[in-house]
């Protein structure tokens, strides 16, 4: 077992502050979530000259032949050469990353793209039902290498489910989870409880929980696995490798992803930046990040107030001024897409860097648009939770604006499984106006154009047969 300082010696990896004006470096044996010198976020970097970089991405397909080895089976560690911060035998896997890239004709039609031009990347097929497992396998690996015995996170539900499953399956660590009160869907809460995590429900929302977990983990020396942890994002890069693999190593025109704490968008930007630098892809796709309209910090800062990475010298006063305004007006994020109900995204600076690297942009989608898009995804495929459908709603908007061309190749990342949040889904499809109103009315959702209502019938054979025939005739 490699531990502590030996980890740095065993790899060509190190941590570096993302600010070019600082650039402080740290060993990979250190567990940090910010630069000690200037407080900025950290990257995991590699001395590629000392590493065996594959000559082409297609070389990764060879690993399929050895998939009885858990590290080749893992959709994260299959790409170990592109995130080699720990020796492979130390890398923790619970079978993450067995996800699918599906073409969807129905959703392509809905958003206005030509047939064959829209693909959905189903990250809900991960063991805990969301994309988080990609990052958790990496953060958990690092936690184990630095000898952690407890790991903590704040969560809108998916990070906590993921941490809990890694703890319960591997028994390597104990999970401590912080959630806001009344802010987490039952599907996700049930996972944390069922997998035996210590679950701390604090009065407040995700941002409150996020602030507290940072304080608590510092004070008690608990390893933090939120996406401020740079190793988490190394795992999430592999979502993009699998998208490329699904497209036969062709680079799409657009990657479209929901934006919450902005870990995914940051990781995707880094993945493409590195692949391009290593000569493994000829060009970088454009990145569109979609906020919920009720949690639209990124859209406000980037699209309305002009916040830019500026080669590492962003004007962060734009963000601090916005946050001050938000607090003065007591404005808090509110959306049916509870996974992305976030006021102050912790990866903001890395995300605007990704926007620069990927010629990216930001849009927002209302809860109505999100739920309509979600119903289209469900009707034409494996389904997703509300936050994930923001990506599809965003593409519809961008096609209507003429920003995305009808014939461009677009990939939407469906970040979480359909079963994560049944409340929103059932309310949308409900024939009971009261249930619809209770769950969705307060969020400005007025209609359910794609509702598939249950047919209520008496317990009578003739009535049941009659109802089925009527439905068939109408269908």
Contact between 145 and 86 under an 8 Å Cβ cutoff? The reply is: yes
Nearer to ligand F0G, 145 or 192 (CB): 192
In the 3-class helix/strand/coil scheme, how is 342-398 assigned residue by residue? CCCCCCHHHHHHHHHHCCCEEEEECHHHHHHHHHHHHHCCCCCCHHHHHHHHHHHHH
Looking from the CA of 48 toward its CB, the CA atoms found within 13 Å total 12
Minimum separation from the CB atom of position 168 to ligand F0G (A): 17
List the one residue from 217, 388, 418, 430 that touches ligand F0G (CB under 6 A): 388
What are the start-end ranges of the H helices in 278-366? 297-299, 317-328, 348-357
Q: In whole angstroms, how close is the CB of 402 to ligand F0G at the nearest point?
A: 26
Distances from the Cα of 280 to the Cα of 44, 241, 265, 315, angstroms: 19, 11, 20, 33
Coil, strand or helix at 45: strand
> Using an 8 Å Cβ cutoff, are 229 and 139 in contact?
yes
For the CB of residue 331, give the shortest distance to ligand F0G in the complex, in Å: 19
Q: Smaller CB distance to ligand F0G: residue 135 or 252? A: 135
Minimum CB–partner distance for residue 439 and ligand F0G (Å):
18
The H or E element that residue 414 is part of is strand 410-414
Q: Which residue stretch of 11-19, 150-158, 275-283, 429-437 sits at the interface with ligand F0G (rule: CB under 6 A)?
A: 150-158
In the list 72, 104, 126, 158, the residue contacting ligand F0G (rule: CB under 6 A) is 158
* Cβ pair 166, 23 in contact under 8 A: no
CB of 267 to ligand F0G, least distance (A): 8
Give the residue, chosen from 260, 285, 314, 378, that forms a contact with ligand F0G under the rule CB under 6 A. Answer: 260
Q: Is 376 in the site for ligand F0G (CB under 6 A)?
A: no
Under the criterion CB under 6 A, does residue 156 sit at the interface with ligand F0G? yes
Interface characters, 337-366, with ligand F0G (x: CB under 6 A): --xx--------------------------
Q: Using CB under 6 A, which residues numbered 415 to 454 contact ligand F0G?
A: 415-416
The greatest distance separating any two alpha carbons of the chain, rounded to the nearest whole angstrom, comes to 77
If binding is defined by CB under 6 A, does position 258 make contact with ligand F0G? yes
CB-nearer residue toward ligand F0G: 14 or 268: 268
Per CB under 6 A, which of residues 107..136 are in contact with ligand F0G?
A: 130, 132
Please compute, for residue 401, the number of CA atoms within 13 A of its CA located in the half-sphere on the CB side: 11
The footprint of ligand F0G on residues 224-253 (CB under 6 A) is: 227
Q: Does residue 155 interact with ligand F0G by CB under 6 A?
A: yes
DSSP tag of 466 = H
- Using CB under 6 A, pick the residue from 97, 263, 269, 285 that binds ligand F0G: 263
Contact between 400 and 112 (Cβ < 8 Å): yes
Rounded distance, CA 276 to CA 282, Å? 7
Stretch that binds ligand F0G, among 35-43, 156-164, 195-203, 356-364 (CB under 6 A): 156-164
C-beta separation of 199 from 192 below 8 A? yes
Long-range contacts of range 32-40, CB-CB < 8 Å, 24 or more positions apart?
33/214, 33/224, 33/226, 33/228, 33/229, 33/230, 34/228, 40/349
- Work out how close the CB of 261 gets to ligand F0G at its nearest, in angstroms, rounded to a whole number: 3
Binding range to ligand F0G, per CB under 6 A, among 241-249, 317-325, 367-375, 385-393: 385-393
**Least Å from the CB of residue 126 to ligand F0G:** 11
Give the pairing of strands 198-202 and 174-180: parallel
In the bound complex, what is the minimum distance in angstroms from residue 139's beta carbon to ligand F0G?
Answer: 13
Of 72-80, 105-113, 154-162, 401-409, the window that binds ligand F0G (rule: CB under 6 A) is: 154-162
Task: Identify which of residues 73 and 157 has a Cβ nearer to ligand F0G in the complex.
Answer: 157
Residues that bind ligand F0G (CB under 6 A): 130, 132, 155-159, 227, 258-264, 339-340, 385, 387-388, 415-416
């Amino acid at each position: 077992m490699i531990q502590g300082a030996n980890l740095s010696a065993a790899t060509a990896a190190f941590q570096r502050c993302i600010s070019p004006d600082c650039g402080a470096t740290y060993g990979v044996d250190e567990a940090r979530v910010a630069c000690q010198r200037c407080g900025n976020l950290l990257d995991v970097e590699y001395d590629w000259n000392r590493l065996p970089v594959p000559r082409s991405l297609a070389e990764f397909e060879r690993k399929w032949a050895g998939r009885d080895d858990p590290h080749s089976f893992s959709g994260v560690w299959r790409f170990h050469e592109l995130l080699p911060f720990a020796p492979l035998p130390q890398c923790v896997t619970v079978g993450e990353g067995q996800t699918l890239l599906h073409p969807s004709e129905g959703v392509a039609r809905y958003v206005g793209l030509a047939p064959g031009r829209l693909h959905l990347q189903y990250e809900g097929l991960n063991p805990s039902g969301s994309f988080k497992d990609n990052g958790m396998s990496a953060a958990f690996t690092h936690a184990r290498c630095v000898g952690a015995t407890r790991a903590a996170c704040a969560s809108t539900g998916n990070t906590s489910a993921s941490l809990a499953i890694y703890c319960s399956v591997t028994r390597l660590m104990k999970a401590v989870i912080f959630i806001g009160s009344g802010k987490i869907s039952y599907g996700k809460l049930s996972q944390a409880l069922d997998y035996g995590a210590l679950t701390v429900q604090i009065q407040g929302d995700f941002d409150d929980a996020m602030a507290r977990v940072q304080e608590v983990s510092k004070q008690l020396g608990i390893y933090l696995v939120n996406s401020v942890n740079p190793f988490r994002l190394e795992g999430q890069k592999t979502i993009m490798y699998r998208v490329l693999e699904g497209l036969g190593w062709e680079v799409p025109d657009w990657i479209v992803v929901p934006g919450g704490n902005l870990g995914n968008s940051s990781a995707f930007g880094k993945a493409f930046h590195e692949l391009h630098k290593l000569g493994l892809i000829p060009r970088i796709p454009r990145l569109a990040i979609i906020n919920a309209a009720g949690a639209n910090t990124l859209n406000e800062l980037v699209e309305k107030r002009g916040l830019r990475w500026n080669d590492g010298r962003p004007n962060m006063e734009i963000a601090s001024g916005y946050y001050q305004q938000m607090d003065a007006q007591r404005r808090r994020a509110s959306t049916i897409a509870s996974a992305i109900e976030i006021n102050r995204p912790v990866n903001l600076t890395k995300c605007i860097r990704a926007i620069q690297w990927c010629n990216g942009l930001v849009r927002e989608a209302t809860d109505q648009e999100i739920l309509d898009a979600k119903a289209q995804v469900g009707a034409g495929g494996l389904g997703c939770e509300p936050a994930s459908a923001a990506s599809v709603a965003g593409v519809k908007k961008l096609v209507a604006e003429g920003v995305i061309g009808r014939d461009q190749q677009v990939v939407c990342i469906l970040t979480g499984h359909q079963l994560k949040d049944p409340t929103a889904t059932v309310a949308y499809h409900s024939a009971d106006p009261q249930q619809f109103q209770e769950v969705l009315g307060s969020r400005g959702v007025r209609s359910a154009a794609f509702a598939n209502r249950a047919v209520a019938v008496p317990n009578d054979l003739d009535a049941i047969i009659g109802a089925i025939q009527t439905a068939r005739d109408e269908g």
